Structure 1
């Protein structure tokens, strides 16, 4: 099955580490707009920078 992800908006909670972080990065590189949330603001800021550097939004 070929699922088109580009342009979709995805909300990920628990995105500061582990599976949430890996999922956010993967989906961002697949063209999704990723909304990330977690309790650790510093880790979220770092993740947002990583995603932006990879060309994600």
Structure 2
């Protein structure tokens, strides 16, 4: 697998279509930023994707329905 040098942000990645998007992007060699309300389940998925596809996966816990959620995610990305 060749790393793409690109990073994708996937919201709702802890299950369903969000998890499938994350797995597909990781398999293509892209690094990921996964955003979800519940961190425990997502941390397990992140570890699996890192190990299986040798990509970087950052995890951010944020409920995107909350006011200023996008700003908080952006600030967390800058801090990382």
Partner of 1:46: 44
Alignment: residue pair count: 53
Secondary structure of the residue that 1:22 maps to in structure 2?
helix
CA RMSD of aligned residues (A): 1.4
Deviations 1:6-56 (A, max 9, x none): 221100000110000111011011111110011111111011111011122
Q: Which has the larger radius of gyration?
A: 2
Q: Greater RCO between the two (CA within 8 Å, min separation 6)? A: 1
Scaled by the length of structure 2, the TM-score of the pair is 0.61
Runs of at least 5 residues in structure 1 that lack an aligned partner in the other structure:
none
Secondary structure of the residue that 2:33 maps to in structure 1?
strand
Scaled by the length of structure 1, the TM-score of the pair is 0.82
